[in-house]
Amino acid sequence: TGGGSTPTPPANQTQGQGAATANPDQLPRSETLYTTGTQWGPPANFNPIREWDSAVGTKGLVYETLFHYDTTASKLTPWLAESGSWTDDSTYQVKLRQGIKWSDGQPLTAKDVVFSFELGKMETVPYHNLWAWLKSVEAVDDQTVKFTFSKANYQQWDFNVYSRSILPEHIWKGRSEKEVLDGVNENPVGTGAYKFMSKDQDRVVLQRRDDWWGKTALNMEPKPRYIVDIATPSNEVALGMLMQKGLDLSNNFLPGVANLVKGNFGLTTYYAEPPYHLSANTAWLVPNNTKKPMNDPAFRKALANSIDVKQIVEGVYGNLVKAASPTGLLPQWEQFVDQNVVSSSGFAFDAAKAKKMLSDAGYKDTDGDGFVENKDGSKMNLTLIVPSGWTDWMESARSIATSAKGAGIQITPDFPDFNALVEKRSRGDFDMLINNERQLSNSPYTYYEYMFQLPIQKQQNTVNFARYDNKKAWDLVQQLDQVKTDDIEGMKKITSQLQQIHLDDMPIIPLWYNGLWAQSSTSVWKNWPAGAGAAPKTGAVMWRNWFELGGFESLTQLQPSGS
């Protein structure tokens, strides 16, 4: 531009977007949000189909879903959809909002929605299984989409309506299966409030679209004009940058952050005291139910009683996490916990009781080495694997081994490489492991699916790592799926049965709730979500799939600290 080497004066607001692009080389600090904790390397793709490794914000900021899900109110929030309802038991109808435009100016229509869901017919698209029970998707008119089901899995459907990105048919049409699944999708065209501005080795930069539909339709506007998401190689680097005020939000697990929150460092977390964070998922101890002695429910229950979770929570995590309830259901699902079941069949750390349970079940220390032997008298030495380098889990595993020793169970922690662990896990070649791969969702259904899914395959890749084989439980889970999501009582009836089975058989043992790690600095942005006062109650996370669970709403609540 003609400015030559003379520095251009700071852009004023009225110039809006134009000004921002005119001098995009240096982002104005007061209008930029710096985040980290999602991405660990260079941004790889902008493909919303790749919900697990697309660049931060691909889904949620650039592409959007029909609904969002409000975790506090436990209900769907219409988003691209104006409304959605079951017109009969197997037909679901969505009405789209008027006037939504793609970032290239084309209007969003029912055909885009149809296209997006029909992409799932491709075998390798992650939501392909939807078509096992979805019969058809039709555009009734430009604003109306009708879904017809062969089997109405209400719980799963709700999950789908807030999880699946809606893609522009006019751009994606004709892409091959390979391109759909593997394409980088440079220059994504979405409906969302942001678009990608640039990327580099360690970051992506998103720029707000000032013509975003939600401004008027939802009366919402995310406050940061720019979002820069940084890939930090490690948690401690993130903490360092946070303290240097280079970052506004870190979604990393930052040990010791409690000290900083209490001190005067301008750092906040959701709660000002333990556990500091909302809960995001449950960490489970997964015993291999097909192996001796873990195939014995009595043993598993004794094991559950032998673990001093408090020690982990306090010792390893410095109270950054919360001990899990015996059901393992996240606090957000508290209403589904059947207290009667818990009080009659629950468990708690009690070494003496664990010892007794063991000996009652026939596990005795016959050779006097302080550890019980198998029923047949053979030595018992169980290995607990967690991925090498996951320090908090490694420490936890050590802690578990120590407390199990108190009850006479010999556990040796082992730290294989992550990939080796994945392989062992899917082949069932392990004694015990720790896993937390199910996140908070709209329904405990997803949790019970994770716990009980059948049939057990040779390779168990994502669910039921314990290989717990209980037909009745799986039937119940499927029944739960068929319960309408607003029928809370109907759901409860099934979940309490499932809890009974879980606590009786203890296929997997809940340990603690991992936090929805969100440490924010108040130096540039304030009004971060917090448990106290009038602050927003949503989660401040940039993690993939969490924008729909309140992450996006949090952005709209931010306020610049300067003003």
Partner 1 sequence: MTTLQEVAPRERAGVRREALYFAVRNGKLMTGLGIVLALLLLGMIGPLLVDAAPNQYGPQPMSPPSGEYWLGTTTFGQDIFAQFVHGLRSTFAVGVIGGGIAAVIGMVVGFVAGYLGGIVDEVLNMLTNIILVIPTLAVLLIINAYLGIRSVAVQGLFIGLTQWPWAARAIRAQTFSLRTREFVDLARMSGSGTGRIIAREVAPNMSSYLFMTFILLFGGSVLIASSLDFIGLGPTEGVSLGLMLQNSTQWSALQLGMWWWFVPPGAAITAIVGALYVANVGLDEVFNPKLRET
Partner 2 sequence: MRRYFGRKLLIYGLTFFVAVTVNWMIPRFMPGDPVASMVARANVARPEAVEAMRAYYNNLFGFDQSLWQQYVNFWGALFQGDFGLSIWLFPTPVSDVILGAVPYTLALIIPSVLLSWVVGNQFGAYAARRKLLDNTVLPVGYVLTAMPYMWLALLLAWSLGVIGGVFPVAGGYSFSMRPHWSWTFVLDLLHHWTLPFLSLFLVALGGWAIGMRNMIIYELESDYSNYLSALGAPSRLIRRYAFRNAVLPQITGLALQLGVLVAGALVTEIVFAYPGLGSLILNAIKNKDFFLLQGSFLFIVLGVLIANFIIDIVYVVVDPRTRAGMAGAQA
Contact 512, 328 (CB under 8 A): no
491 binds, among partner 1, partner 2, none (CB under 5 to 8 A by kind): none
CA distance 542 to 45: 16
Q: Is the Cβ of residue 16 or residue 24 nearer to partner 2 in the bound state?
A: 24
d(CA 195, CA 259): 37
- How many other C-beta atoms are found inside a 10 Å radius of the C-beta of residue 338? 20
Beta pairing class for 81-88 and 75-78: unpaired
Asked if 451 contacts 508 with a C-beta cutoff of 8 angstroms, the reply is: yes
Q: Is the peptide bond before 293 cis (omega within 30 degrees of 0)?
A: yes
* Residue 423 binding: pick among partner 2, partner 1, none (C-beta 5-8 Å cut-off by kind): partner 2
Residues forming beta bridges with residue 207, ordered by sequence position: 195, 226
Q: Least distance from C-beta 512 to partner 2, angstroms?
A: 21
- The SS3 assignment for 91 reads strand
| Closest CB 237 distance from partner 2, rounded Å | 4
Q: Does 399 bind partner 1 (CB under 8 A)?
A: yes
Considering only 1-9, 130-138, 162-170, 238-246, which stretch makes contact with partner 1 by CB under 8 A?
238-246
Residues 225-244 that bind partner 2 (CB under 8 A): 228, 230, 232-234, 237, 240-241, 243-244
Nearer to partner 2, 53 or 365 (CB): 53
What does 451 interact with, of partner 1, partner 2, none (CB < 5 to 8 A by kind)?
none
| Binding of residue 24 to partner 1 (CB under 8 A) | no
SS3 labels along 404-467:
HHHHCCCEEEECCCHHHHHHHHHHCCCCEEEECCCECCCCCHHHHHHHHCCCCCCCCCCCCCCC
Q: How far is the CB of 516 from partner 1 (least distance, A)?
A: 19
The answer to the question of residue 186 lying near partner 2 (CB under 8 A) is no
Cis, bond preceding 455 (omega within 30 deg of 0): yes
Residues 109-148 contacting partner 2, CB under 8 A: 123-124, 126, 128-129, 132
**How many angstroms separate the CA atoms of 416 and 393, rounded?**
12
Q: How far is the CB of 25 from partner 2 (least distance, A)?
A: 5
Q: Which of residues 34-53 bind partner 2 (CB under 8 A)?
A: 34, 40-42, 44-45, 50-53
Query: Quick one: 53 or 469, whose CB is closer to partner 2?
Result: 53
Long-range pairs, 491-494, Cβ under 8 A, ≥24: 491/155, 491/336, 491/443, 491/444, 492/335, 492/336, 492/338
Q: How far is the CB of 551 from partner 1 (least distance, A)?
A: 25
Q: Distance between CA atoms of 455 and 101, rounded to whole angstroms?
A: 44
C-beta of 110 vs 394, nearer to partner 1: 394
Determine the interface stretch with partner 2 among 14-22, 79-87, 364-372, 457-465 (rule: CB under 8 A): 457-465
Nearer to partner 1, 71 or 232 (CB): 232
Number of other residues whose CB lies within 10 A of the CB of residue 503: 20
The least distance separating partner 2 from the CB of residue 241, rounded to whole angstroms, comes to 5
Distance CA 393, CA 321 (A): 12
Q: State the binding string over 338-377 for partner 1 (x if CB under 8 A, else -).
A: ----------------------------------------
Nearer to partner 1, 407 or 555 (CB): 407
- C-alpha R_g of the chain: 25
Query: What six digits make up the tokens of 66?
Result: 């029909």
Report the alpha-carbon distance of residue 517 to residue 35 in Å, rounded. Answer: 12
Q: Binding mask 400-419 vs partner 2 (x if CB under 8 A, - otherwise)?
A: ----------------xxxx
- Of 128, 468, 543, 513, residue with least CA distance to 333: 513
Binding of partner 1 by 315 (CB under 8 A): yes
Dist. CA 85–CA 118, nearest whole Å: 20
Q: Where in 406-425 is the site for partner 1 (CB under 8 A)?
A: 414-417, 420
Name which of 5 and 244 has its Cβ closer to partner 1: 244
Count of residues that bind partner 2 according to CB under 8 A: 65
Q: Which residues bind partner 2 (CB under 8 A)?
A: 24-29, 32, 34, 40-42, 44-45, 50-53, 123-124, 126, 128-129, 132, 181-184, 198, 200-203, 205, 228, 230, 232-234, 237, 240-241, 243-244, 246-247, 389, 416-424, 426, 437, 449, 453, 457, 459-463
Q: Which residues bind partner 1 (CB under 8 A)?
A: 234-236, 239-240, 243, 254-256, 259-260, 311, 315-316, 318, 388-389, 391, 395, 398-399, 414-417, 420
